[in-house]
Structures are given as structure tokens and as C-alpha cells.
Amino acid sequence: DVKVTQSSRYLVKRTGEKVFLECVQDMDHENMFWYRQDPGLGLRLIYFSYDVKMKEKGDIPEGYSVSREKKERFSLILESASTNQTSMYLCASSPGVGLNEKLFFGSGTQLSVL
Amino acid sequence: GQQLNQSPQSMFIQEGEDVSMNCTSSSIFNTWLWYKQEPGEGPVLLIALYKAGELTSNGRLTAQFGITRKDSFLNISASIPSDVGIYFCAGPLIKAAGNKLTFGGGTRVLVKP
């Protein structure tokens, strides 16, 4: 089974802190994604990556950056956390190029920014 | 704004009931996907639909790709308590780079007390 592991289940940070969310997948997938989930808004794409060192903006990239130094690892960075970034963050991966319907998700990181 | 609109936003189920939910868009989709998220977990793909009019089942779940290609429906027959969770529709917007997925707001399924 594909496993997508997010390093923290819950995080509490203060406004202005730099925050790192880590994600690792073990199936040699090309594509990795970061989403945030908010009630009633579904999942919104922040950033995605099709290859090592490659990144593309999703629908809501403002206030975030990403890093993909190794194929299996995709990090989401909040440069200066703000209260409106309190949310559930979901990492996902998918194999190959093209349609990305076979997304495999991690269990999520619930981030609270105080 | 939200590209995919799911209805209802939430619903209560009683064991044994059949339930339905739908997803609509103002844009045409060539693929419709249904995911389920159980409490404390990430979403898991349930059903993928690739052709207008297609009807596909996965156990007690049946999904349909609308003829207009602007909507999709998911039915759960003879619901059981483990059907609780959030159901998301999703699809790749044709104009979006890399066919990245757009998700609906979700339908939260709860058990009647």
C-alpha cells in the first residue's frame, strides 16, 4: 500500500513564526501536492511538484512556499505564520504524468496559529 | 469562487437508508471523481468516471457522470454507520495547467442520533 506520512498530526504555533510541514511518500511517485482543508471550502491546492526541485503554484499560494530536494519528500513552509493559516493541511502524491486522479493522501496536519 | 458545488452540505443517515448527493459545476469536466474522508484520515478515492452517462458501482456506492458533463451524483444504498465521513467530488479543470484537481466543498454524512 502507498503510504504518505505527514510528520505532525497537530501543531500549535505563534503568529510570525516560521513553520515547516513535512511530507514523505514511499512509492516513488513523481507528483506531490499540498492542500489545505477548511469547512465548506473543500480542499484547495496550495502548491504542487512534478519532479525534484520543481514546483508550481496552485490556487492559493500566497503566504506559502515549498521545497522538494528529494523525490520522496515535499515540504510546505509558512514563512511568517498568520491566524488565517489555521487549517488542516493535507499532503498527497500520485504516480506519473497526466491525470492526477489517483491521489494518495496523508492523514493531515491540523495547524493552529495563535 | 468554488468551481464545484456539492449538495447537500451535510446529511443525517439512518441505518438501512439509501442516500444521494450531487455535485454541479458551470464548467465541463471530462472526468469526475468521488473521494471519501473518514474522521482523522485523508481522503480516499472511491469511484472514477470517465464518460458522460457512465454509471459505476463500488460495493453499495454508485456514481453517475451527468450527460451534460457538468454534474455527477453519488448514491449510497442500505447505509451503515461506517458510511459516516465527508464525501468530496473532484475533477481536473480542462483549462488548468497539469490537469490538477479541483475539489467540491464536501458533503458531510452523519448518523442520526
Per-residue pLDDT tens digits for B1-58: 458 999 999 999 999 999 999 999 998 888 899 999 999 999 999 999 999 999 999 9
Closest CA to B55 of B36, B68, B38, B74: B74
Query: Residue A102 — pLDDT band, cuts 50, 70, 90?
Result: confident
Task: Say if CB B43 and CB A105 are below 8 A apart.
Answer: yes
Give residue B100's pLDDT.
75
pLDDT of residue B92: 83
Q: Are A107 and B42 in contact (CB under 8 A)?
A: yes
A50 contacts in chain B (CB < 8 Å): 98
CB atoms within 10 A of CB B64: 19
pLDDT, average across residues B93-110:
78
At A98 the pLDDT is: 57
CA B110 to chain centre: 15
Q: Are B62 and B75 in contact, with CB atoms under 8 Å apart? A: yes
Chain-centre distance for alpha carbon B56: 12
User: Residue B101's pLDDT is what?
Assistant: 85
A101: which chain B residues are within 8 Å (Cβ-Cβ)? 31, 33, 45, 48, 90, 92, 101
The reported pLDDT for the residue numbered A113 is 97
β-bridge pairing A31-38 and B4-7: unpaired
Shortest CA distance to A104 belongs to which of A113, A114, A91?
A: A91
